[in-house]
Structure 1
Amino acid sequence: MLLGRYRILSTNDEGGFGTVSTCWDTRLQRRVAIKRMPLTVSEGAVPSSTLEEALGEARTSSMLSHPNIVTVYDFETDAQSSYLVMEYVDGLDLQELLARVEGGVLTFDECAHVLESVGSALEFAHENGVLHLDIKPANIMISRDGTVKLADFGMASLASAAGFEGARGGTVGYMPPEQICGDYVDERTDVFSLAVVAWQALTGSCPYAAATPERSLEKIRRGPTPSLSHVEPELAGVVESTLLRALDPSPAARMSSVAELVGGVVRALGDAREGKESLAWLISQSGEEEGPASSPDGGQLTPWERFPWLEGALVRAAAALPTAAVLWRTLPRAFSLDGGALAACCGAGAAATAALPVLGVPLATVSSLLAIASGATADVFPLALLLALAALLWWVSIGRRQRLGAFALLAPLVLGSPEAAVPAAGGTLPPASALGTAVAAWLLERGSELVGTWGLDARGLLAGVVAAAGDPGSWASLAGVAAASWVCSLLVARGTRASCIAGYALSALVLASFQFAWAQMENIANPGAGDLPSFGVAVVLGVIMCVTTVLHGPGGDAEGDERA
């Protein structure tokens, strides 16, 4: 869910500064397109220039109400991203359509309809002082009824009173020389880009496509090759001469308005109305998903959609419960507490963690240090301080940025299973964070196991640490947990139910493979027999998270720094 309201159905494409996803509006029961634009965060603050760029696109798009321009519904922000909620166009963009039709070309009628529609949208934008500056096939949407809409005003600028504006980045292959070189741009910049799109739709190739802006600029100065009349002899005359004028490297030599370009080409190409019917038929054959009128789940809302607060409550509970369990174990060693006082302290710690999940690990660490300090000899203090420093390092680098960090780190300790770190960390954190957290959780759980075996006897603990460090099985277990967590997180981050379930299943296979490989090297007849209970706990936790994924859908989105 995005913004507690929009359910992600698919991530479609890259926009100018962000990704565009198809979402289901659970309140109004309709599909929408949401463009997510990451905001650079510096010391907890969003630079105003970045936020202004995102807000500028929203304002520019919302002021353009036209049947051939994608409608903007809303604009929202959070700490990491801004979200532009737009009309969902049920169909294909021109780039996708050209990739599907034979030769990558449109018929003359179809091209006439596209040019007429985009030209009308651009003419309206120019009349309102808006330059698009990123006309390309991927930004031209075609719906199932053949309607053409211009999208993505991410590069758009409001022209000055003189009609000029400073150049902004566009797309190589469709930018004219003045935009590539960073000079002043005006309506003739969009004229050039639209002419390139027309040329591509008629010939099957972009004449100025290149790996670098410099290379594209060289092609522009040489002129498009081969000539339009050579590719399509029927286009010799008005169509070719009009497009060549629009593609002139010098803005002064081009026509000054989109209407002049469209008027000179469309009449000579064919019937735009027949082109619309033909495009509608092509889109209907595309086999794309159902139209916007139908709910993706038959109109039934999931519990997370019906009760938006439920997801946040589960996230807070996942952080609070293992924190309370650690406090329950450690506080009695540090203080003389009766049952009621202990329950009150654990409840207070759980409440604090539920209110602010990132407090979970610091509270558990402080409680553990107090327990060690109350019963340890001076010889144990260096080891205790080292563990505290490691916990602090993890919290600064990973835990303070992850809502589910406390769950991922403490759940394996509470469950007594280092392998439980795989579904706990791999299913809730990004790959790098999952890897680091899994290693930290494994060390924490094994350290707790040594304390349970030797108590706080310094010699015993040191002997246990040395023995564990020299045991190949320990290293095989650590490597397996780290690799499995990373693999799990990579697949979960893809953001589909199938990939999430595959991630949990494959991570279990990776764990078993490491254990089996170590057993083969050591010639052990019954590999992993001693670790079966721990492995079983990990499998059960993975199954629970699989069931949650099926009921809820993948947590968060694949691009965010945290997943819920």
Structure 2
Amino acid sequence: MQPLLCNLTSSASERILELQEKIGDSEFDRDLLQIKEKIASGSFGDLYRGTYLDVDVAIKLLKTGHASNDSKVQFLQEIMILRSVNHENVIRFYGACTKRRNYLILTEYMAGGNLYDFLHKQNNTLELSLILRIAIGISKGMDYLHQNNIIHRDLKSANVLVGDGQVVKIADFSVARQRSQEGDMTAETGTYRWMAPEVINHKSYDHKADVFSFAIVLWELVTLKVPYESLTPLQAALSVRQGLRLVIPSSVHPRLSKLIQWCWGENPHTRPVFSEITAELEDILLTFQVASRSKGSH
């Protein structure tokens, strides 16, 4: 039994070295980094606000207490993905430090916090045009990731950050994967209230699991409610597994309502891809703007 364990550990250490070598050149001068207040705490890492050369940055630190080889591999994989992406609706990567004991990732700092807090903690009422603009931003960011074979695997409102002028960016790639890497994915990854049925059921899944999660975020945008708020996360997952879905209020724009249902369909193959979602959202927005203008001119 022992040798197998040994192999697993050594293969993880080898993977760490291999990833560190690939990342090599994104190191920065740690002495110029100022770490300020903690913004959030995750299972593997804590998020801080800070400055680097007078620029506001977000700093993700791997918790040393959790620094098993597996969590190091996960952290390094996140850096690899962040380094490879460049899109206005995806968080911008500034650098990483993996040579010292405390691994860290530097990304841009988003002053508006995350979309979950924006929707659920500020008693906002959102105009249809703003709902659509936020949804389009998320959809474009996700489309870009999917075009680059990246599956996010934990899309939820807490992982969407809000910046100036309500620009939104997708963040937290700690469980994201390149599609070509793994073959079939079956690991139960993500957050129950946003998780696709095929993931809950440990079936093999692909990028369409992100589309299901997007449907839940869209539902949050139109209702300003926490998904399945009267259920525990596990109860929520079990009801999704049984085919139950959230109730869409009749006041929701009929085309948006239809889009949500299309995205959270049981069969992943019949769900749309993000380019189709973006096109539909942009068309709803255009129609709405034209209607508003003609109302205004009477």
TM-score of the superposed pair, with normalisation by structure 2: 0.77
Partner of 1:382: none
Amino acid at match of 1:265: L
Aligned residue in 2 for 1:68: 89
Q: What's the counterpart of residue 153 of structure 1?
A: 173
Confirm or deny: 8 A CA contact 1:174 1:208 kept in the other structure: no
- Residues 259, 221 of structure 1: CA spacing in aligned structure 2 closer, same or farther, 3 A cutoff? farther
- Cα deviation, residue 189, structure 1: 0.8
| CA displacement 1:339-396 (0-9 Å, x = unmatched) | xxxxxxxxxxxxxxxxxxxxxxxxxxxxxxxxxxxxxxxxxxxxxxxxxxxxxxxxxx
**1:258 aligned partner:** 274
CA contact (8 A) 2:193 2:236 kept: no
What is the RMSD computed on CA atoms of the aligned residues? Answer: 2.8
Letter in 1 for 2:278: V
- The structure with the greater share of residues assigned to helix is 1
Q: Classify 1:206/1:165 alpha carbon distance in 2 versus 1 (closer, same or farther; 3 Å).
A: same
Distance 1:267 1:126 in 2: 21
How far does residue 174 in structure 1 lie from its aligned partner after superposition?
A: 0.6
SS at match of 1:33: strand
Q: Distance in 1 between matches of 2:186 and 2:64?
A: 23
2:72 counterpart SS class: helix
Q: 2:47 aligns with which of 20, 36, 42?
A: 20
User: How many Å apart are 1:258 and its aligned residue?
Assistant: 1.3
Name the count of aligned residue pairs.
261
Deviation at 1:117, TM superposition (A): 0.9
Q: Matches of residues 483-522 of structure 1 in structure 2 within 5 Å?
A: none
Tell me what 1:267 maps to. Answer: 283
What CA distance in whole angstroms lies between the structure 1 residues aligned with 2:177 and 2:62? Answer: 17
Deviations 1:176-210 (A, max 9, x none): 11222332221211111111101111012244454
Equivalent position of 1:51 in the other structure: 72
CA contact (8 A) 1:91 1:143 kept: yes
Instruction: Say whether residues 1:196 and 2:193 are aligned partners.
Output: no
Task: Identify which range, 169-178 or 214-223, moves more after superposition.
Answer: 214-223
Q: Secondary structure at the match of 1:51?
A: helix
- Deviation at 1:129? 0.9
CA distance in 2 between partners of 1:140 and 1:105 (Å): 18
Percentage of matched positions with identical amino acids: 23
Aligned to 1:249: 266
Pair 1:239-2:256 in alignment: yes
Question: In the alignment, residue 51 of structure 1 is paired with which amino acid?
Answer: K
Which one has a larger percent strand, Structure 1 or Structure 2? 2
SS at match of 1:32: strand
In the alignment, does 2:114 pair up with 1:87?
no
Matched residue of 2:103: which SS? strand
1:133 pairs with one of 128, 153, 170: 153
The amino acid of 1:151's aligned partner reads A
TM-superposed CA distance for 1:3, in Å, is: 4.1
Post-superposition offset of 1:51: 1.7
CA distance in 2, matches of 1:97, 1:270: 25
- Residue equivalent to 1:9: 36
Larger Rg: 1
Please list every run of at least 4 consecutive aligned residues from structure 1 whose deviation after the TM superposition is greater than 6 angstroms: none
Report the equivalent of 1:144. 164
Q: How many Å separate the matches in 2 of 1:162 and 1:50?
A: 17
| Cα distance in 2 for residues equivalent to 1:186 and 1:16 | 24
Are the aligned partners of 1:208 and 1:216 in contact in 2 as well (CA < 8 Å)? no
Q: Is the 8 A contact 1:228 1:235 kept in 2?
A: no
Letter in 1 for 2:275: A
Q: Work out which structure has the larger RCO, using CA pairs closer than 8 Å and 6 or more positions apart in sequence.
A: 2
Distance (Å, rounded) in 1 between the aligned partners of 2:174 and 2:288: 28
1:309-348 to structure 2, matched below 5 A, reads: none
User: 1:164, 1:127 → 2: CA distance?
Assistant: 18
- SS of structure 2 residue aligned to 1:145: helix
Secondary structure of the residue aligned to 2:36 is strand
Q: Does 1:36 find its partner at 2:61?
A: yes
Please state how far the C-alpha of 1:221 moved relative to its aligned partner. Answer: 3.5
2-side partners of 1:147 and 1:82: how far apart? 29
- Normalising by structure 1, report the TM-score: 0.43
CA contact (8 A) 1:68 1:150 kept: yes
Structure 1: segments with no counterpart, 5+ residues? 274-564
